[in-house]
């Protein structure tokens, strides 16, 4: 399958949905991706199974503050140069490029880099959504080490990393990002084809595209869209999708703490003002509760959409009075495993709550 320029807007829309409130505005990456795919005549998307076990696969993406990219602009050259340097560092040639996360702007950079280099991009990613930290990636959870890693800044300066563990790597890469202008392009988690197959959340790129197409073509009240969304998610790597609440935004408070957007959101039922859904935010929507009872929690996906258009709304765009619906989607099976939950359950975000699967929390009426 080939991804071409005309797919990018739908892919970006799907990526905002799967970003579960985080991920930033994909406007600039989408614009650059379109331009790149016009010049390169598209990029080949390959299923993980199509890779040979001995193939060399590298995930690539941006690390840092999306706000900085608004001034320095994302760069295709930077992305393809990172791959060149990485091949030199590792002494191997790259068979395919993979993505850190399908949520937000980072889903588009691997497409551009792969298009310029003429290599395929893997249909899948390392999260199936957006997460804030490297140790939450499926690659890391499956035991792939993040290093050797190579990062490049806007001026072509590079740094390479060899760290003892993923958490240390995360600290060091963030420090380099801050020192190098706020946003860097990184190749990390080098893998064999066999390792990738064991750790990737498969099919998420083509899924995000289908999701975006659906949201665009059937734009309208979420209630009308739910049957089509259910059908789409039922045939995916994800669990079932449920509409767990709808109402108007009654309050939203976020502030930046340690580089994260942290806050709380409450949504009031349209008909019963005493029924309130509260959502904990740390870049992404992490836990949804009603009356002190959890309805959905990380790593299951919580998505907020406009009730009238079904357009996904990320956390920085929420404001008082918006009419919204809260959707919850079961995380891919990979994230239901004990090792994955150990890295991504609510306690990993400082929330004192035992993980309960979405399937146990919502009635299986759909």
Partner 1 sequence: MRIGLDVGGTHTDAVLMDGTTVVARTKATTTADVASGIEAALRVILAECDPAAVDLLTIGTTQFTNAVIERKQLSKVAAVRVCLPAGRGLMPRSDWPEDLVKSTDGGSYLLHGGHLYDGRELAPLDDAEVTALIRSLNDAKPAAVIVSCAFSPTQPALEMALVDRLRAALPDTPICPSHQIGGLGLIERENAAILNAALLAFADRVANAFTGSSSRLGLRCPVYVSQNDGTLITLERLRHYPALTFASGPTNSIRGAWALTGLSDAIVIDIGGTTSDIGVLKNGFPRQSNLVIDVGGIRTNFRMPDVLATGLGGGSLVSDDGRTCGPQSVARELRQKALCFGGDVMTLTDIAVSRGRLAISDAAVTSPVTEALCDIVDETILAKLNAAVDQMKPGGAILPVILVGGGAALVPGDNLAGCPIVRPDNADVANAIGASIAQVSGEAEMLHVASKQSRSEVVELVTARAETAAVSAGAAADTLSTINVEALDIPYMAAETTRIRVTVVGDLDDPSKRAS
Which positions lie near partner 1, rule CB under 8 A?
24, 27-28, 31-32, 35, 64-68, 70-77, 154-156, 174-175, 177-178, 181-182, 248, 250-251, 254-261, 283, 316-317, 319-323
Residue 321 CB, nearest approach to partner 1 (Å): 3
Mode of pairing for the β-strands spanning 191-192 and 96-99: unpaired
Residue 73 CB, nearest approach to partner 1 (Å): 4
Burial (CB < 10 A; 0-12, 13-18, 19+), residue 209, is: buried
Distance, CA of 100 to CA of 344 (rounded, Å): 15
Q: Tell me the β-bridge partners of 247.
A: 269, 324
Would you say 122 or 326 has its CB closer to partner 1? Answer: 326
Would you say 171 or 347 has its CB closer to partner 1? Answer: 171
Would you say 292 or 321 has its CB closer to partner 1? Answer: 321
Residue 130 CB, nearest approach to partner 1 (Å): 11
- Structural contact between residues 269 and 276, judged by C-beta atoms closer than 8 angstroms: yes
Would you say 195 or 308 has its CB closer to partner 1? Answer: 308
Cα distances (Å, whole numbers) of residue 288 to 32, 239, 335? 35, 17, 18
The answer to whether the peptide bond before residue 179 is cis (omega within 30 degrees of 0) is no
Would you say 38 or 47 has its CB closer to partner 1? Answer: 38
Distance, CA of 85 to CA of 187 (rounded, Å): 10
DSSP assignment letter at 24 = -
Would you say 176 or 355 has its CB closer to partner 1? Answer: 176
Kindly give, in sequence order, each residue whose CB lies less than 8 Å from that of residue 332, ignoring residues fewer than 6 positions away: 128, 201, 237, 238, 239
Distance, CA of 102 to CA of 137 (rounded, Å): 11
């Amino acid at each position: 399958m080939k991804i071409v320029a005309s797919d990018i807007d739908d892919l970006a829309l799907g990526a905002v949905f799967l970003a579960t409130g985080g991920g930033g505005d994909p406007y600039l990456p989408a614009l650059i991706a379109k331009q790149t795919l016009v010049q390169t005549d598209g990029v080949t998307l390959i299923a993980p199974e199509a890779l040979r076990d001995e193939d060399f696969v590298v995930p690539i993406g941006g690390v840092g503050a999306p706000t900085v990219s608004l001034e320095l602009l994302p760069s295709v050259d930077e992305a393809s140069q990172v791959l060149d340097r990485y091949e030199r560092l590792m002494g191997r040639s790259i068979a395919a490029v993979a993505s850190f996360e399908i949520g937000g702007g980072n889903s588009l950079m691997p497409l551009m880099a792969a298009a310029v280099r003429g290599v395929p991009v893997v249909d899948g990613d390392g999260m199936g959504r957006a997460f804030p930290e490297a140790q939450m990636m499926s690659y890391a959870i499956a035991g792939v080490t993040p290093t050797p890693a190579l990062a490049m800044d806007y001026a072509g300066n590079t740094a390479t990393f060899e760290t003892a563990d993923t958490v240390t790597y995360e600290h060091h890469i963030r420090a380099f990002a801050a020192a190098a202008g706020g946003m860097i392009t990184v190749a990390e988690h080098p893998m064999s084809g066999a390792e990738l197959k064991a750790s990737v959340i498969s099919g998420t790129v083509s899924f995000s595209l289908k999701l975006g197409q659906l949201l665009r073509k059937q734009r309208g009240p979420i209630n009308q869209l739910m049957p089509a969304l259910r059908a789409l998610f039922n045939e995916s790597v994800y669990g079932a999708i449920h509409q767990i609440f709808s109402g108007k935004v009654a309050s939203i408070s976020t502030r930046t703490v340690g580089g994260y957007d942290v806050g709380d959101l409450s949504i009031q039922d349209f008909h019963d003002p005493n029924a309130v859904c509260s959502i904990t935010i740390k870049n992404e929507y992490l836990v949804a509760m009603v009356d002190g009872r959890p309805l959905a929690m990380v790593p299951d996906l919580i998505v907020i959409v406009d009730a009238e258009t079904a357009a996904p709304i990320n956390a920085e765009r929420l404001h008082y009075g918006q009419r919204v619906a809260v959707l919850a989607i079961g995380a891919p099976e990979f994230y239901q495993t004990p090792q994955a939950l150990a890295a991504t359950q609510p306690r990993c975000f400082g929330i004192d709550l035992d993980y309960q699967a979405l399937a146990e929390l919502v009635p299986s009426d759909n």
